[in-house]
Each structure stands twice: as structure tokens, then as C-alpha cells.
């Protein structure tokens, strides 16, 4: 059990350390670690965990780490995985908080952050493509995707309504 906990911590530490931009940017690396490197989950299980992580309050990366850790080892696994994913941010924040306010006004810092934002969008699009490739598996799921995408582009309402709509449509379209 100690080996799985160490692997879990190390895997989520790498996810937290090597991704910048928050939860959605972490999904591709998390997917690689959990599915490709360790085979802890199937792509469908991973997608289900990401869906639940998005619906629950809090950052999607921490929620996903918590659910994956729980799925593998229980409460101890959820604590270890969550700690792993937040450790790099916590350490970096503690180390850099003193100089952050001084460098944020620097024009080079602004340029640096502009580059990071652009890279973040690319990572979010990659995560969307990867998740969509595994989630849109037939005509009903394509319909739900298209409808929710169209409505979310047209209506400026809370994403919670779209999540609820997706859940209701799933119950209607898959009644078994």
C-alpha cells in the first residue's frame, strides 16, 4: 500500500509541478499519468471522474485528484493525491509571495504572462479534444454536446444549468 501511495503522490506532484494554468490545463498530464503510465483507470472511468470533478465545488484538478486517489486507495489515497497536486503551488506561492507584487508591474512580466495565457488556451483546447473524443461516442452524445454548446454560446447563464441539462438529457436518451 505504501508503494501505491508514493506513486500516487509522485504522479500528482508532477501534474501540479509541470502544468501552469489551473485544472483544465492539468487534465492532459493527469490523463497521461493515470491512464497511460500507471493504468490505474480506463479512459471511460477517467472521463467519469473528470465529469464529477467539474460538477463538484472547488478546483477541478484537486477534485479529480481526490476522486482518483479515493478510487484507488480510499480516503488515504484521496488525501495523498490531493496533497500531491497542491504541493507545488503551495510551495511556489509561499516562496514567491514576497516578490510577486513588485514584479507584476514589470512590462517583461506582462509579456511572460501573455505567453502563458496563450499556452494555457492551447492546453485547455487539447483537454477539450481529448475528453470530447472519449465522451462523444454515438449520436445521442453528439446531440447533447451540440445542443449544450449551442445554448452556452447563445445564452449567458450559469454552467450549472447546462450540466443539469446534460444530466437530464442523458437520463432521457439512455433510459436503461
Decide: 5 and 38 in contact? Cβ < 8 Å.
Answer: no
Q: What number is the average pLDDT over the span 149-170?
A: 90
Residue 111 pLDDT more than 90? no
Work out the pLDDT band at 33, boundaries 50, 70, 90. Answer: very high
pLDDT of residue 3: 92
pLDDT of residue 94: 83
| Helices of type H across the chain | 2-18, 23-31, 43-55, 60-73, 75-103, 107-135, 139-154, 159-173
Q: Is residue 75 part of a domain?
A: yes
Q: Is residue 51 part of a domain?
A: yes
Q: Is residue 24 part of a domain?
A: yes
For the chain, the average pLDDT equals: 88
| Owner of C-alpha cell 438529457 | 169
Residue 97 pLDDT more than 80? no
Q: Is residue 29 part of a domain?
A: yes
pLDDT of residue 18: 81
Burial of 22 (0-12, 13-18, 19+ CB in 10 A): middle
Residue 21 pLDDT more than 70? no
Q: What number is the average pLDDT over the span 123-133?
A: 84
Higher pLDDT: 8 or 61? It is: 8
Work out the pLDDT band at 108, boundaries 50, 70, 90. Answer: confident
pLDDT of residue 73: 95
Residue 15, Cα to own-chain centre: how many angstroms? 10
41: alpha, beta or left, given left = phi > 0 and alpha = psi -120 to 50?
Answer: beta
Counted domains in the chain: 1
Share above pLDDT 70 across residues of the chain, in percent, rounded to a whole number = 97
Residue 136 pLDDT more than 70? yes
Q: Is residue 52 part of a domain?
A: yes
- Name the nearest CA neighbour of 22 among 99, 67, 88, 71: 88
Residue-number span of the structural domain to which 11 is assigned: 2-106
Higher pLDDT: 99 or 122? It is: 122
Higher pLDDT: 165 or 24? It is: 165
pLDDT of residue 153: 93
pLDDT of residue 85: 93
Q: Is residue 118 part of a domain?
A: no
Q: Is residue 175 part of a domain?
A: no
Q: Is residue 49 part of a domain?
A: yes
pLDDT of residue 105: 75
Amino acid at each position: 500500500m505504501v508503494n501505491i501511495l508514493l506513486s500516487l503522490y509522485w504522479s500528482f506532484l508532477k501534474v501540479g509541478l509541470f502544468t501552469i494554468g489551473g485544472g483544465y490545463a492539468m487534465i492532459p498530464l493527469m490523463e497521461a499519468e493515470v491512464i497511460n503510465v500507471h493504468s490505474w483507470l480506463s479512459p471511460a472511468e477517467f472521463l467519469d471522474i473528470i465529469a464529477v470533478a467539474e460538477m463538484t465545488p472547488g478546483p477541478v484538478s484537486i477534485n479529480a485528484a481526490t476522486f482518483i486517489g479515493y478510487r484507488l486507495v480510499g480516503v488515504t489515497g484521496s488525501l495523498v493525491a490531493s496533497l500531491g497536486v497542491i504541493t507545488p503551488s503551495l510551495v511556489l506561492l509561499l516562496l514567491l509571495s514576497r516578490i510577486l507584487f513588485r514584479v507584476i508591474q514589470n512590462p517583461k512580466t506582462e509579456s511572460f504572462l501573455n505567453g502563458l495565457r496563450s499556452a494555457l488556451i492551447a492546453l485547455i483546447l487539447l483537454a477539450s479534444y481529448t475528453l470530447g473524443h472519449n465522451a462523444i461516442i454515438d449520436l445521442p452524445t453528439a446531440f447533447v454536446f451540440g445542443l449544450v454548446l449551442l445554448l452556452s454560446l447563445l445564452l449567458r447563464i450559469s454552467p450549472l444549468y447546462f450540466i443539469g441539462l446534460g444530466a437530464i438529457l442523458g437520463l432521457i436518451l439512455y433510459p436503461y
